[in-house]
Amino acid sequence: MNISSQRPYREVLDRLRACGLRPTRQRLGLARLLFAGSDRHVTAEGLHSEAIAADVPVSLATIYNTLHQFTEVGLLREVVVDATRSYFDTHTADHHHFFNEKSGLLIDIPDADVVISQLPPTPEGTKIHRVDVIVRIVD
Amino acid sequence: MNISSQRPYREVLDRLRACGLRPTRQRLGLARLLFAGSDRHVTAEGLHSEAIAADVPVSLATIYNTLHQFTEVGLLREVVVDATRSYFDTHTADHHHFFNEKSGLLIDIPDADVVISQLPPTPEGTKIHRVDVIVRIVD
DNA sequence: GTGATTGCAAATCTTTTGCACTAAA
DNA sequence: TTTAGTGCAAAAGATTTGCAATCAC
């Protein structure tokens, strides 16, 4: 057991603490899976399988709780592209998506790669919370 | 009973026939509700309640069948904005939406009011099926 | 300890399906 | 007739909830 193998735990642990989330075994395990590498898009079921495979025993109920808690504190962002399933994105900054409806694959588009040069005024009494551009693609 | 009150039936009937859909009592009733006035956004449950209230007895199963059949033949368009519910839009031309996440209200944005002046190339081997812009608004 | 978190199983909600019945052509 | 369409009730899938057991602090 060496220092460097511990670092990811420490970083993730601090990150959870910083968000006010108690770093439980489940949350730590899921956070390590989610934030280990580059940006990811997961579904509850997908993350659950992955967690089980990675020896991070978690119930599906806890997966849902965790995904929503992470989303609330800004560690994740929900992407609505498919009426039958919720996707969660580890990339939380503004950006957009390609969505392959056949395969269900979601691909990030950097915010800078989409330029919206005109948008109508929002309805009276409302303001923009966020603009989602979904480029639906087919093979 | 006069001629003019019959016209909507005839028009709707012809429209269904033109799409290759047998004009059954249920489909006619639903089509009249959907295409009576200006553009509308409905959910299965909402349309069902409305149909019952308008003395167009239809089962929820038939509502779902009908919404999907209408979508297949291009009379409706599905709008994915909310992970928990499917919306169907009687406006089938290209356009975008404001979506009030609190109230669930969908508002059309004419295609011409949104100008996307830059979009990245689609992934290798794919092409654009459609681009959806969802402006999520809050009160 | 004590309050937050978890897991399980049951409940809920939306949508789909199987199949006998009904209606359109 | 003959085949498409409908309704019902059951099934399926995703997500949520209630509650007792467990864990972090």
Per-residue pLDDT at A41 = 95
Who among A98, A113, A131 is closest to B133 (CB)?
Answer: A131
Asked whether the beta carbons of residue A134 and residue B129 sit closer than 8 angstroms, the reply is: no
Q: The tokens of B59 are what? A: 């089962």
Per-residue pLDDT at A83 = 87
pLDDT (mean) for B96-117:
92
Distances (CA, A) of B48 to B44, B52, B85, B90: 6, 6, 14, 16
Asked whether the beta carbons of residue A135 and residue B117 sit closer than 8 angstroms, the reply is: no
**What's the mean per-residue pLDDT of chain B?**
90
Q: Does nucleic acid strand D have an atom less than 7 angstroms from the CB of B57?
A: yes
Q: Does nucleic acid strand D have an atom less than 7 angstroms from the CB of B110?
A: no
Integer Cα distance of B104 and A95 in angstroms? 23
The pLDDT tens digits of the residues spanning B11-44 come to 889 999 999 999 999 999 999 999 987 789 999 9
Question: Nucleotide C7: nearest residue by CA–C1'?
Answer: A59
Hunting for tokens 């735990």 — which residue is that?
A9
Q: Which helix (H) or strand (E) element contains residue A115?
A: strand A115-118
Question: Nucleotide C4: nearest residue by CA–C1'?
Answer: A22
The pLDDT tens digits of the residues spanning A8-31 come to 678 889 999 999 999 999 999 999
Phi-psi region of B74 (alpha: psi -120 to 50; beta: other; left: phi over 0): left
**What's the mean per-residue pLDDT of chain A?**
90
Residue A68 has pLDDT above 50, yes or no: yes
Residue A85 has pLDDT above 60, yes or no: yes
pLDDT (mean) for A81-104:
91
Residue extents of the structural domains in chain B: 1-77, 93-139
Q: At what angle do helices B25-35 and B44-53 cross, to 10 degrees?
A: 100
Integer Cα distance of B139 and B102 in angstroms? 8
Helices (H) and strands (E) in chain B, counts: 4, 7
**Fold type of domain A1-77:** Arc Repressor Mutant, subunit A (1.10.10)
CA of A131 vs chain B CAs: smallest distance (Å): 5
- Sign of the torsion formed by the C-alpha atoms of A76, A98, A129 and B84: negative
Per-residue pLDDT at B7 = 52
Per-residue pLDDT at A2 = 42
pLDDT (mean) for A48-73:
95
Q: What is the DSSP code (8-state) at residue B83? A: T
Work out the pLDDT band at B3, boundaries 50, 70, 90.
very low
A11 vs A98, more confident = A98
Q: Which residue of A has its CA nearest to B101?
A: A129
The pLDDT tens digits of the residues spanning B49-90 come to 999 999 999 999 999 999 999 999 999 999 999 988 899 999
A87 nearest nt, CA–C1'? D14
Residues of A in contact with B116 (CB under 8 A): 114-117, 133
The answer, as to whether pTM is greater than 0.95, is no
Length of chain B: 139
Protein-proximal positions, strand D, CB < 7 A:
4-10, 13-18, 23-25
Integer Cα distance of A76 and A78 in angstroms? 7
Q: Which residue of A has its CA nearest to B117?
A: A115
